[in-house]
Amino acid sequence: MSLPLPEKPRGKPLDGLRVVEFTHMVMGPTCGLVLADLGAEVIKVEPIEGDRTRHLLGAGAGFFPMFNRGKRSIAIDLRHPDGAAVARRLALSADVVAENFKPGTLARYGLDYAALAAGNERLIYVSCKGFLPGPYEHRTALDEVVQMMGGLAYMTGRPGDPLRAGSSVNDIMGGMFGAIGALGALIQRGITGRGQEVQSALFENNVFLVGQHMMQYAITGEPAAPMPERISAWGVYDVFTVKDGEQIFLAAVSDGQWRTFCDALGLGDLRDDPRHATNNDRVRARATLLPILRQRLAGRGAAELAAVFEREGLPFAPIRRPEELYDDPHLQATGGLDEVTLTDGARAGQTARATLLPLTMDGERIGVGHGLARAGQHTDAVLAAVGYGADEIAALRAARAVA
């Protein structure tokens, strides 16, 4: 006789876990964002004046609201001895501490792993850095820096024109790997009872991203060409400019897809040409095949081609800008966006839709949780939770150790 299945768990998988983060910009906050969206109580320690990322302009305007939702905020002056003591007490109450400052910065305040682990052997400490320990570890790293030195900008740009990827790919993925390491360490702590230090890094993340190109060279002996000049693995795998100057990405990555492609578009002569019989044949014939395809598709509309490819199950993609994704019917239907109330700048108090973690759990998307906090919004509540009385909190605030 089989046992009844347990009831579905209520809440989120990391409910009850406390994370304290000393982070700024993108990489460290991304680590905390993942853990917060999965249900952890994430307490963001900000300077008295607030995280300066809150007020960035231009390409940085979306950093804070994107990567800091779902967190509580406490404002502490770490340079004040009483502030540093508050931060240490808070960090010692945590399951996970996450940080992304330069090596040695937090050690000045007794907030490094060695100091904290001496007081809490179960602590998991996630350091998100520019480089893992080694010759480069004290260099100042940015996403663009490691893209340039790690081969990604070379692969993205045209020959002689290295170009960074159009998103903070290393910052975001580096933070994600930090969160993955934290989850692994939590599982191990459940077995051993002991925490550990986890490190992730921008440069090593970037090397992981270009690892396929390194392996290509190891196997073939031929250096990988920048993506605009690459020798494609597929005969048809390109952006086509069509009617009215619109663009659409079209692909046929198998022999079956090639036959369907030709039949759907009335290209029977190309399908039957022995020079195009297999994918590798088509790769070798790309120099002649693609101009023919471009000429024959030039008079067809992007929407018309999309409808054909949708119907036939062929790979295609409209070329969209990020702002156009707010109107994407799939994101709207699947709940891929959720509202957050902005806390800073000219739009403070207004709402914006934020993108969610790209996964479901038990068939549901994971929402934004508590939204965005004002700088220091939860100072009193957090201090009370770690044992400070009202008079002590008032004294700390009067001394400008906290805000």
Task: Calculate Rg over the CA atoms of the chain.
Answer: 26
Based on the residue annotation, tell me whether 171 is a catalytic residue of this protein: yes
| b/e sequence 300-337, b meaning 16+ C-beta within 10 Å | bebeebeebbeeeebebeeeeeeeeeeeeeeeeeeebb
Q: What secondary structure letter does DSSP report for 39? A: T
Beta-strand relationship, 124-129 and 96-99: parallel
Sort 390 into a burial class: Cβ within 10 Å, 0-12 / 13-18 / 19+: exposed
Token output for 363? 């068939």
Element (H, E) at 203: helix 202-209
Q: Which CA distances in Å does 170 have to 24, 32, 52, 194, 206?
A: 15, 16, 21, 29, 6
Six-digit token string for 323? 């702002």
Cα distance between residue 198 and residue 189, in whole Å: 13
CA 326, CA 329: separation in Å to the nearest integer? 9
Residue type, 21: E
Q: Which residues contact 173 (CB under 8 A, 6 or more apart)?
A: 205, 208, 209
- Element spanning 202, H or E: helix 202-209
Nearest to residue 90, comparing CAs of 120, 63, 67?
Answer: 120
Give the active site residue among 37, 77, 95, 171: 171
Give yes or no for a contact between 353 and 339, defined as CB atoms under 8 angstroms apart. yes
Q: What is the distance between the terminal CA atoms of the chain, rounded to a whole angstrom?
A: 60
Q: What is the DSSP letter of 402?
A: B
For residues 88 and 84, what is the distance between their CA atoms, to the nearest angstrom?
A: 6
Tokens of 366: 């994971």
Which residues are catalytic, by number?
Answer: 171
